[in-house]
Amino acid sequence: MPFPLEPHSEETIEKHFRNRGFLWTEEYLLSAIANARSKYDVYWAAIGLRKVGTDRAIPVLCTLLTYPMQDVKCVAILTIGHIGRENSTPILAEALLSPAYREKGYAMWAIADAADERAVPAVPAVLAHLKKNRSKIRRGKDSSGVLVDAVSYLAKHRHLSADAQKFLDEIPTYWHMLGEGERKELSKRVPDLVEQIESAQGDGTKR
């Protein structure tokens, strides 16, 4: 299950709303968002919906993707992925490409963990985002933190998309430019791909 609600978060939510007749119900948390006294009401309610939220909560969570508080935008998209799972794929893909949603690392994280296993329409959205930011990514300057999740996701679905395979085939050309942390994380998550990349680097060829 993507992005489960951790016990310590449950305790924090209960404490945050303890003086307002808190109930673990979708109705309560949606009301807390609609009638928020502070941005933290919205933040904790958005997280709490991972425990009791249904598809009814998703339109409300979508409105939070442009909320003024950055942390709210981040947790809202993860909660959308948690509740909607594969059905949330179009929302997650749209967020990744939308100029209005700037937390691209969270959008990609949600896609990697929750998107439709058929990779439609997520693969085209992921590839479009990578293409738009190609220069920064290849120079190891992409501050959005998208690359590891994106490569892991595309590797998982490369059998469905020639374009995904083409992107993966190009990684050896700029592998040495990536940060050490990115390379190590990819080694853990897609060891077969990294083995191929390092082999290509070692013999001076490109796949």
Say yes or no: 107 and 129 in one domain. no
Residue 119 banded pLDDT, cuts 50, 70, 90 = low
- Whether residue 83 is found in the same domain as residue 138: no
Q: Do 147 and 192 have their domain in common?
A: yes
The structural domain count of the chain equals 2
Q: Domain check: are 25 and 49 in the same one?
A: yes
Q: What is the pLDDT of residues 18-72, one digit of tens each?
A: 999 999 999 999 999 999 999 999 999 999 999 999 999 999 999 999 999 999 9
HEC string for 111-138: HHHHCCCCCCCHHHHHHHHHHHCHHHHH
pLDDT digits (tens, 9 = 90+) for 144-197: 889 999 999 999 999 889 999 999 999 999 999 999 999 999 999 999 999 988
110, 175: one domain: no
Q: Do 107 and 137 sit in the same domain of this protein?
A: no
Distance between CA atoms of residues 111 and 126, nearest Å: 9
Residue 183 sits in which domain range? 123-207
Same domain, 49 and 28: yes
- Whether residue 13 is found in the same domain as residue 48: yes
Give the pLDDT score at 116. 79
**Given pLDDT bands bounded at 50, 70 and 90, which one contains residue 207?**
very low
Q: Give the confidence band of 16 by pLDDT, cuts at 50, 70, 90.
A: very high
108 and 127 in a single domain? The answer is no
- pLDDT at res. 1: 67
Q: Are residues 42 and 112 in the same domain?
A: yes
Domain termination site, one of 62, 93, 116: 116
| Same domain, yes or no: 105 and 127 | no
